[in-house]
Amino acid sequence: MSEENGYTPPKVWTWDKEDGSAFANINRPIAGPTHEKELPVGKHPLQLYSLATPNGVKVTVLLEELLDEGVAEAEYDAFLINILDGDQFSSGFVAVNPNSKIPALMDHSTSPPTRVFESGAILLHLAERFQKFLPSDASLRAECLSWLFWQMGSAPYLGGGFGHFYAYAPSKMEYPINRFAMEAKRQLDVLDRRLADNRYLCGDEYTIADIANFPWYGALVLGHLYEAAEFLDVTSCENVTRWAKEISQRPAVKRGIMVNRTWGDEKGQLHERHDASDFKLKTQDKISAEKEEAPA
Ligand SMILES: N[C@@H](CCC(=O)N[C@@H](CS)C(=O)NCC(=O)O)C(=O)O
């Protein structure tokens, strides 16, 4: 088999450790832990191990929404998993998520504690446990789960496909960028048509389907993902933009996207969250200011 661009796949694929892409240092073709390290455990029944990527903030937004609804049992500790440092490959993390990806949740309200991995499974676990943000009517529940699983199946084409080749690959390659830009545009159009006649993805009710989709497609149309808003002409998605703007104003969303965030404006970074007061007292700007004031 030979190809026009000069690459001929070998008979057996081998691992090229330095492929020049943005995350080459954490990509590997094998699973399992690279080092022994236990995960910390805080004071609340829910222990989250995560980072504020689009998949990570789905869970912190839901937890903050639950707390705003008065569900005190949704109090949680959120520990930082720095995926660029390889924290997802520790023995402790792999025991919670054998797939070594954030987010991962340990629910200590059961004995023994219940592990949950995959952001969609975590959203469903919490929504079912607290009977919130998941419609009780069977048809609406089916609609909600359809949009939740649509997101789980679609976003890898947006992130791993379009985002990878447009923003992270070592060079700009026309074929994969065209292929995945087309798919990203198609996915946005799926949502835009649904949101033309519906305030939220399941109608009038804000649910885990919106919480799952917002950090990907909402962030994309608001210009927060891959600096690709102009390239994908997202302004044509008027309904997704209206939906994203409304969701972005929710207090729980504003807090949720700060948790386990280690980049951007320091006021918007809360590296670890153990208490509701942390949003006022422990943001990174405050921690940096304290360090500067401390005597050497
Ligand atoms: N399907 C998974 C995807 C999770 C995922 O891809 N997490 C990324 C960050 S957004 C990660 O942990 N990457 C680390 C790695 O690939 O080693 C979910 O929705 O939970």
pTM: 0.96
Q: What residue ranges of the chain have pLDDT lower than 50? A: none
- Ligand 1 pocket test, candidate residues 21, 28, 101, most atoms within 8 A of CB: 101
**Alpha helices, DSSP H only, in 73-137?**
91-96, 119-130
Decide if 187 contacts 154 (C-beta within 8 A): yes
pLDDT score of 2 = 54
Task: Please give the CATH architecture assigned to the domain spanning 138-255.
Answer: Up-down Bundle (1.20)
Whether the CB of 88 sits within 6 Å of ligand 1: yes
CA of 279 to the centre of ligand 1 (A): 25
* Per-residue buried b or exposed e for 112-145, using 16+ beta carbons within 10 Å of the residue's own CB: eeeebbbbbebbbbbbebbebbbbeeeebeebbb
Nearest-angstrom CA–CA distance, 272 and 284 = 10
pLDDT digits (tens, 9 = 90+) for 159-173: 999 999 999 999 999
What's the pLDDT at 186?
98
pLDDT at 13: 93
Looking at residue 126, its pLDDT comes to: 98
The domain segmentation of the chain, as residue ranges, is 138-255
- Nearest atom in ligand 1 to the alpha carbon of residue 100 is 17
- Ligand 1 contact via 53 beta carbon (within 6 Å): yes
